[in-house]
Structures are given as C-alpha cells and as structure tokens.
Chains A and B, each alone.
Chain A
Amino acid sequence: KPIYDKKATTTSELKIYNLNTYRGTCRGKTEVYMLCDKVQKDDIEILFRLGSWKANGEFAQTDVHRQVAIVFKTPPYEDQSVTEDVEVNVVLRRISDQMESEPVSFTYTPVCLDPYGVKRK
C-alpha cells in the first residue's frame, strides 16, 4: 500500500466530517454544506452514487471555503418518480489521482406524490 503525505493536499486522505442535511428531494438542487479535511478547490469533486448510477454535486471553486468546507447543490437522482426514499452514497474524489473518501449516506426523497407522508414511515 502506498504511503501518503497527510499534510499535502495533493495526496492527503480525503474525509467528510458532516453535512448540514442528509436528505433532499430526488429533483436535486438541495443546497448542502459539507465540512471536510483539506481539499484543493480545483482538484476535487463530489460524487453521488448508487449501483451503476452516478452524478456530481454542483459547485464552483468559489464555493470551496478555505479548503475545509464545500457548499454544493445535489444532482437530480436518475429516477424522478421514486415513491420511496432512496439512500445513495456520497464521496469526495480527488480528480487527479481518483482517490476517494469514505462514503456518507444521503437520502433522496419522493416529490410530493404523498404530501402528508401517510405511506412513508
């Protein structure tokens, strides 16, 4: 296993500490604040993934705050007509070497087919 310099943002381990929300509608566009270990604003992406589906969180370099927080918008889920919550994985990925963080879970919720949540427990 390679040895990484933990201090250099080009090779350091990636880590997600927390998100301000872990749920959003399957339409995407939910604004999320992520706190993380140091990242390079021009060499980082946020990946949403489930099985063969994947999509990127949307942000500009100016949304990366002091290397340790990223404000981004969730991508729409592949299926806009889900009737139940769908749990997907979110990881940070360094573009240059494709290194990834441990995943955190994010839940996509159905869009108002059941506004009073009677079917959802």
Chain B
Amino acid sequence: NPIYDSKSPNASNLKISRMDKTCGTVLGGDEIFLLCDKVQKDDIEIRFYEEDDEGGWEAFGDFSPTDVHKQYAIVFKTPAYHSAEIERPVTVFLQLRRKKAGDSSDPKQFTYIPHLPDKEEVLRKKQK
C-alpha cells in the first residue's frame, strides 16, 4: 500500500467543506448533505472511524453514485455505531477516502447520540 503524507497538499485534494449535521442517532440512518471538493462518484467512500489501542472501528456512509451531485456534494446515510448501548454521546471521525488510491481527506467529527426509546416515542407522536 502506498503511504501518503496527509500534510502535503499534493497528496490528496479531498476535502470536506461543510455538513448539514454533525450528530445523529447511534442506530445510524440519518441523512446527511456533505459539501466537498471534487470527487469521482464511483471512486469515493465516506469512512466513519474510531481509533483506539484495540484496533478501533470503522463503518461506511451509505450512498450510491447517483447521490453524488456534480462531483461536489454527497447525500448519504450514516452507518450505525458498533454499539447501540451507549449511555453518553460518543464522538467519532469521518473522512472522504478514494477507494482506489486510498488517500483521504482531513477528518471531521461526528457525534452519535444514545438511543432513548421514550424520547423517540414522544417525537413520533409529535410528528403525527
């Protein structure tokens, strides 16, 4: 695998400019609009990850090539966190990564919010 210097501007021009949300449910499935620098719709993935001493965790945003808008925006759904049983919000990272070259953007933070069935029930009733 090639090694990229993520600090060098030539290594990768992948960049996340803005996201409409930076938090969502631990269960995943939240729709996010992400604005980015130029990407190829069939050679890009959105990697959520956590790094720790025991190897960490990763999962990928869910979208199809048609969800990539004019190479500069991606509409995707968040992956579920590895544990639905969190009691406090957990902050992880996400980055854009090219599938072929493996180079990635600088990370952004994303916070998973605990799943509270009671609260959700109230919200659901509210929306009716």
Contact = CB atoms under 8 A, between A and B. Distances in A.
Interface string A4-46: 0000000000000110100000000001010101100000000
A65 B128 contact: no
B125 A116 contact: yes
Interface in A75-121: 115-117, 121
Contacts, number: 49
A33 B72 contact: no
Size band of the interface chain A makes with B: 10 to 19
A20 B35 contact: no
Given A33-B20, A65-B35, A117-B127, A18 B72 contact: no
A116 B128 CA distance: 9
Contacts of A121: 128
A54 interface: no
A65 B18 contact: yes
B69 A33 contact: no
B39 to A, nearest CB: 11
B20 A35 contact: no
Given A35-B33, A116-B125, 12 more contacts: A31-B20, A35-B69, A35-B70, A38-B70, A66-B72, A68-B72, A68-B73, A69-B33, A69-B72, A71-B35, A115-B126, A117-B128
